[in-house]
Amino acid sequence: MTIPATQAAVIFEKSNGPLIYKTDWPVTQAKELKPGEALVKITHSGVCHTDLHALKGDWPLDTRLPLVGGHEGVGTIVAIGEGTTTNRKIGDRVGIKWLADSCLDCEVCRRGQEATCSNAVCSGFAVHGTFQQYAVSYVRHLTPIPAGLDPVQAGPILCAGVTVWKAIKQSNTNPGDYILISGAGGGLGHLALQYAAAIGLRPIAVDTGEEKRKLCMELGAEKFIDFRTSQDIKADIRAATDGLGPHAAVIASSSAAAYNDALEYLRNHGTLVAVGLPADSYIKANVFWTVFRALRIVGSYVGNRQDAIEALDFAARGKVKAIVKVQPLKSLAEVYEGMEKGTVSGRIVLETGA
């Protein structure tokens, strides 16, 4: 396999700095790979809101600089570092997700909670990500892509899909239970609805507007509640769930109000799963009612290697389909602009041209 010396990539040199599209960004050569590393030829990469946060330096964590962002990459292994022990081989189709590596040896890793490993390494944040044609990643955390799954579909599943699938797994629900998805028409929410429906839950969608109502109903929502036109959102949610409230609520929207409402409308023994990240926000739980109604509040942060494989399997079986728009790699700056203005619907997947 011939590996070029240079490639196309989108980089930024400083936090909040401009995005620069380069066609002469160096490609790490096979001989330069360390044990445990693989070089992946990336054909497609989804764009996640986290990538925009990384560019803007929104979080109390420093990114590597200069940085190639991106963590929903799909491609083929073209080289593996000498001295690597792995079942993966050159030619395998793989995905690069947010969690590029973790130690696999600490307590949280042994329990399958890899995302919270204190040695976790994130793609497009601590190491160069997938907005380039050739990315170096850690072979033990690469996700095999099922045969026949369109790379355009696989991209968004590697982050958005894994995140909501994991959230649903943590919702403490059984088939036939009601699960409310807040932000159901968005990039995360529209996937959450489909995973929930696929495992026999009864999804209640909360979002706004006719377009999103139509989309949510098509994707398996049992009822749609418009938070803008509803006179009493909590009463409408209870009315949609036999008067008792849903068994769980997955908050995929970045709304602090959505979190605090959930603590009131949830059914007794209900679970609030926190996913969306409103800035500087708090969940204010009344201690008496939390105890007396036996409520659970769970934070859910991406997923582990197994969650990624499961999430992709639903997509490969046609149970979950991301709403995507494909654009060229060099259009990333415009994509971010659209995300900031809120004009992007569904997920954007970049074609690298590799």
The secondary structure of residue 30, as a DSSP letter, is: G
Task: Give whichever of 77 and 117 is closer to Zn ion, judged by the CB atom.
Answer: 117
Q: 33-52 mask for Zn ion (x: CB under 5 A)?
A: ---------------x-x--
State yes or no: residue 121 binds Zn ion (CB under 5 A): no
Q: Hey, is 32 helix, strand or coil?
A: helix
| Distance in Å, CB of 289 to Zn ion, minimum | 33
Site size for Zn ion (CB under 5 A)? 8
**Residue list 132-191, contact with Zn ion (CB under 5 A):** 159
Structure tokens at 122: 């994130």
Instruction: Please report how close the Cβ of residue 213 comes to Zn ion at its closest, in angstroms.
Output: 26
Min. distance of Cβ 124 from Zn ion in angstroms? 9
**Beta pairing class for 223-226 and 143-144:** unpaired
Q: Which amino acid is at 9?
A: A
User: Rounded CA gap, 221 and 197, in Å?
Assistant: 8
Exactly one of 28, 45, 76, 102 binds Zn ion (CB under 5 A); that residue is 102
Least distance in angstroms from the C-beta of 188 to Zn ion:
9
- Out of 109, 179, 206, 237, which residue is the one contacting Zn ion (CB under 5 A)? 109
Q: First vs last Cα of the chain: how many Å apart?
A: 13
Binding Zn ion (rule: CB under 5 A), the pick from 100, 117, 258, 266 is: 117
User: Which span sits near Zn ion by CB under 5 A: 76-84, 117-125, 199-207, 324-332?
Assistant: 117-125
Stretch that binds Zn ion, among 3-11, 100-108, 270-278, 305-313 (CB under 5 A): 100-108
CA distance 41 to 78: 6
Comparing CB distances to Zn ion, the nearer of 117 and 215 is 117
Task: Show contacts with Zn ion in window 307-346 (CB under 5 A).
Answer: none
Residue closer to Zn ion by CB (options 295, 344) is 344
Q: Which stretch binds Zn ion (CB under 5 A): 36-44, 103-111, 198-206, 304-312?
A: 103-111
Smallest gap from residue 49 Cβ to Zn ion (A)? 7
Q: Is 178 exposed, middle or buried (0-12, 13-18, 19+ CB in 10 A)?
A: buried
Q: What is the CA radius of gyration of the chain?
A: 20
C-alpha distances out from residue 210 to 49, 87, 288, Å: 24, 48, 39
In sign, the C-alpha dihedral spanning 18, 24, 27, 31 is negative
Choose among 322, 313, 320, 318: nearest CA to 349: 322
> In terms of residues, how long is the chain?
354
Q: Nearer Cβ to Zn ion, position 117 or 324? A: 117
Q: What is the amino acid identity at position 156? A: P
Nearer to Zn ion, 157 or 159 (CB): 159
SS3 338: helix
| Beta carbon of residue 98, minimum distance to Zn ion (angstroms, whole number) | 5
Q: Phi and psi dihedrals of 324, rounded to 5? A: -130, 155
| Residue among 19, 52, 106, 199 that touches Zn ion (CB under 5 A) | 106
Binding footprint of Zn ion on the chain (CB under 5 A): 48, 50, 102-103, 106, 109, 117, 159
